[in-house]
Amino acid sequence: MEKRISGHTKLYGLIGSPVGHSGSPAMYNYSFARTGVDAAYLAFDIPLDQLESGVNALKTLGVAGFNVTMPDKTAITGLLDEISPAAKLIGACNTVTVDENGKLTGHNTDGIGFIRNLSEHGVTVEGKRIVLLGAGGAATAIAVQAALDGAAELSIFNGADGFYANAELTVKKLEEAVPGCKTSIARLDDEKALETAVSACDILINATRVGMKPLDGESLIPARLLRKEMAVADTVYNPKKTKLILDAEQAGCRAAVGGSGMLLWQGVEAFRLFTGKEMPAQEVLEQFFA
Ligand code: NAP
C-alpha cells in the first residue's frame, strides 16, 4: 500500500451506516491494484442525519466517486446534480460519479448487477414473464431494470403492509415509462394469484429477506410449484444457497441462481462507471466470493 499511495492518488469510498462489515473496500482496492488505477477506496460511516454534511465533506475533499448503502440510498437522490433515468425510476442511488467539474451524478447498479448475474447463468429477461417477490430496495431496482431490459410481464407480490404502497408506485411509474411491460402488484397472501402467476412464469425472483437469517431455511414458494422450464433466482447471498435455491436445484429448474453474483456484478458496473475499466470479475469472484 505504501508504494501505491502518492500525492496524486484518487479517493473513492462507500457511505452508509453501518459500513464496517462491507466487503467493498477489499474488492475495489484489489481491483485498482490489478488494473493499474492510482486510487484507494475507504468506507465512511455516515448516518442519515449527517448525510448532507457528509456529502459536502466528500465534495470538499475532491472524492472521485462513491458508493451508497443503507440507510442513505434514497435520501442521496436529493443531494445530486443529475440522476440516471433508471435510478430516477427506482428512486435510489448506490453509485455516485463525480466529473472533473465536481458534478455529482447518481446511478443504480443493483438491477444491472442482478440482470448481469442472470445472464452469466444463461438467463435473459427479454420477452419473459417474471414473478418478483418483494417490493423493497432490491426488488424495485430489479423491477425497473427488468422492465427496461424488455421483460414482457412483471408480477410483483408483497405483504399487504410495509412496502406494498412502494410497489403500487413502481407499477404506476413503469406503466408510464415502459408501457410494453405488463406490470402488476398483488398480495403475497393471495395464494391463488401467486400460484397462478408462478405456474405461468419463466423466471421467479425472491427479493425479500426470506431465506436470510433469521428466516434461513424458509421459502415463500411451495416446492411443488417449481418446474424444470423455469429459472429461479434469489437476491439473498448469505447463505449462498437459500431454501428456494436448494428447492429449485432439487426440482431440476433450468437455472438456480444465488445472490452473491448480484453483489459482484453491481460492483463491476460501479467500477466501470468510476474508472472506465473492467474489474477483473473472475479473480474478484475467486478472491472474495468463494
Ligand atoms: P428492504 O428494502 O428492507 O425490503 C425488504 C423486503 O423483504 C420487503 O419487500 C419486505 O416485505 C420483504 N420481507 C421481509 N420479511 C418478510 C417476510 N417475513 N415475509 C415476506 N416478505 C418479507 O430490503 P432490500 O434492501 O430490498 O433487501 C431485500 C433482500 O435483498 C435481502 O435479503 C438482501 O439481503 C437482498 N439484497 C441483496 C443484494 C445483492 O447484491 N445480492 C443487494 C441488496 C439486497 P414487507 O414490505 O411486507 O415488509
pLDDT in tens, 255-284: 999 999 999 999 999 999 999 999 999 999
What pLDDT does residue 262 have? 96
**CA 152–ligand 1 middle distance (angstroms):** 24
d(CA 60, CA 174): 37
- 148, three cell numbers: 427496461
Pocket flag, ligand 1, residue 187 (CB < 6 Å): no
The tally of CA atoms less than 13 A away on the side-chain side of residue 235 is 25
Which residues make Cβ contacts (< 8 Å) with residue 83, sequence separation at least 6? 77, 93, 105, 106
Task: Judge whether 282 and 120 are in contact, CB under 8 Å.
Answer: no
State the pLDDT at residue 2. 66
What one-character-per-residue DSSP string does 136-148 give?
SHHHHHHHHHHHH
Question: 138 pLDDT band (50/70/90 cuts)?
Answer: very high
**Where are the alpha helices (H) located in the chain, listed in sequence order?**
24-35, 51-60, 85-90, 110-120, 137-148, 164-177, 191-200, 243-251, 260-275, 281-288
DSSP string, 79-98: G-SEE-HHHHHHT--SEEEE
**DSSP letter assigned to residue 75:** G
Task: Tell the residue nearest (CA) to atom 1 of ligand 1.
Answer: 136
Q: How large is the average pLDDT for residues 55-65? A: 97
| Mean pLDDT of the 48-54 span | 98
Q: Are 131 and 203 in contact (CB under 8 A)?
A: yes
Average pLDDT on 24-41 reads 97
Q: Are 271 and 281 in contact (CB under 8 A)?
A: no
Residue-wise pLDDT for 117-127, tens only, equals: 999 999 999 99
Q: What is the pLDDT of residue 202?
A: 98
- Do 81 and 62 meet the contact criterion of CB atoms below 8 Å apart? no
- List 73, 128, 241, 243, catalytic entry: 73
Is 73 designated active site? yes
Mean pLDDT of 241-261: 97
pLDDT in tens, 77-91: 999 999 999 999 999
Closest ligand 1 atom to 141 CA:
26
pLDDT at 1 over 80: no
